[in-house]
Amino acid sequence: MINQSKVRTKMPEQDPCVRTGNFDEVATGYTEEMAVREALRCLKCREHPCMTRGCPVHNNIPAFIEKITEGAFEEAYQILAETTSLPAVCGRVCPQYLQCEGNCVRGEKGRPVAIGALERFVADWHRKHAGSADEKAAEAAAVKSAGTMADAVNAVTEFMSGAEAAEHKDKRIAVIGSGPAGLTCAGELAKKGYSVTLFEKEEIAGGVLAYGIPKFRLPAEILEQELSNLKAVGVSFETGKTLGKDFTLNDLSNEGYRAVFIGNGAGKSLRLGVPGQELTGVVPAAAFLYDVNVKKEYPDAERIAVIGGGNVAMDACRAAVRCPAAKKVTVVYRRSVAEMPADPAELKEAEAEGVEFLYLTGPVEVIGQDGKVAGLKCQKMVLTEPDASGRRKPVPVQDSEFVLDVDCIIEAIGTQSDNACVDGVETTDRGLIVVDEETLATSKPGIYAGGDTVTGPKTVIAAMGAGRKAAAAIEAYLG
Ligand code: SF4
Ligand code: SF4
């Protein structure tokens, strides 16, 4: 039986008037009945482009969705677990409209199947019903009648990965960076039985998932659960350790690590490049989101401008409206809404939460008073005809300057890699690590790299795809 509805099952969410007063997750998730109803919209296409063309980690989408229609939710989870280490994260933060759902056949004459929402449902169902990794470890250990946590971890490793685990325990692998690329690579290799240590420069693990994505999109407990699943399969975490400062690649080699994966992201913020950007109250989006997400520190500002039009700008403006002192939040973007790279759903959520958008507007100068931001001088822009690449360039409109009354400015115009710390590995003039496209091997034997540090800022799932690819190549390298 197929649900012929062109309309997909809407996920319940907090009312905009309520949610701007908290950092709780906006969308509250499908019930079992909703998930089955939505899963029945899947046509089980023979070609399944959602999976082959849309999903960078090639989740078996028709198979896991079919299990949902049967009410076999744990089996659906096990199908996902074959290809993704972070399904609860992907179901929430993947740009599905560009990937799996963007390739769904049902999208040709109506709305695509809500693949992300179904993936999230399955991962959450597993978390609630199958017990935590620690509980599973304890149960597995009890079955073994051994009673120690080491036995428990071994038991759950076998439980989760089969007999091949524990074969390679003598082969140590270092993973640098605990964002999506590093977590995926570490998880894949640990499940194969390698001894994996993950080095993270911050005191908390998770990379951009922990400090870049606001809690109303990815609650802390979801990430903690995914991290605890990785610990249960044997990944060790060394936080507060920075490559180039606390250790080098040569140190790792001397300590007996046989291979290294670098997934240290692209966390260096680009600045506006206008006079006054050094004033107190001008902050890069990454720093603002870190303060809000990790330290729970909010700017003491009533009128906040966010500069940029990508997904980080959407995260920043939506976090800004939730800051206790904020009264007005304005996004300033140089092009029009048609060129905006942000996920349209995120843009809609931001509008519903009262964020104001100034399109075709560019910053010219930050105006200060007593060393602090007192306004933002802007000018109107107009777009040229498309160039050879099809992109329309914004150019200033003469005599169109005006001052926006703001006391905080968040720069969300992009980030770049900072690989000065990576010794002896070839990088491009933009600081990106050079790799072999097929294997993600760098110019230094045994050192692999993937994710934003290689490509520049891309999506979480693209980084996960790279982590998975590198894990396979490292396994082949280690024989
Ligand atoms: Fe879609 Fe992302 Fe899940 Fe792949 S991992 S199926 S792209 S939500
Ligand atoms: Fe189902 Fe859409 Fe994938 Fe077809 S393309 S198998 S309808 S999810």
- HSE value, Cβ hemisphere, 13 Å, CA-based, for 117: 22
Give the distance (Å) from ligand 1 centre to CA of residue 198: 24
Give the distance (Å) from ligand 1 centre to CA of residue 177: 22
**Contacts of 47 by beta carbon, 8 Å cutoff, 6+ apart:** none
- Give the Å distances, CA to CA, from 156 to 225, 458, 468: 15, 33, 21
Q: What is the residue type of 121? A: F
DSSP 8-state code for residue 274: S
Give the distance (Å) from ligand 2 centre to CA of residue 64: 11
Q: Is the pLDDT of residue 181 over 60?
A: yes
Ligand 2 close to Cβ of residue 100 (< 6 A):
no
Q: Is the pLDDT of residue 256 over 60?
A: yes
pLDDT, one tens digit per residue, over 57-110 is: 899 999 999 999 999 999 999 999 988 888 999 999 999 999 999 999 999 988
Find residue 427's DSSP bridge partners: 433
Backbone angles phi, psi at 393, to 5 degrees: -90, 135
- Give the pLDDT band of residue 146 (cuts 50, 70, 90): very low
* Predicted TM-score (pTM) of this structure: 0.88
Mutate to test the pocket of ligand 2, among 50, 68, 96, 108 (most ligand atoms within 8 A of CB): 50
User: How high does pLDDT run on average in the chain?
Assistant: 90
Q: Is the pLDDT of residue 285 over 70?
A: yes
Structure tokens at 372: 């602090």
Q: If we measure between CA atoms, which residue out of 273, 366, 359, 350 comes closest to residue 312?
A: 350
Backbone angles phi, psi at 279, to 5 degrees: -65, 150
Structure tokens at 165: 């685990």
Q: Is the pLDDT of residue 457 over 80?
A: yes
Ligand 1 close to Cβ of residue 113 (< 6 A):
no
**Across 441-447, average pLDDT:** 96
* DSSP H stretches of helix in 263-352: 285-290, 311-321, 344-352
225/234 Cα distance (integer angstroms): 14
- pLDDT of res. 167: 60
Terminus-to-terminus CA distance in the chain, angstroms?
Answer: 47
**What is the percent of the chain with per-residue pLDDT over 90, rounded to a whole number?**
78
Mutate to test the pocket of ligand 2, among 9, 58, 61, 118 (most ligand atoms within 8 A of CB): 61
Length of the chain in residues, anyone? 479
Mutate to test the pocket of ligand 2, among 5, 42, 51 (most ligand atoms within 8 A of CB): 42
Structure tokens at 279: 């004033």
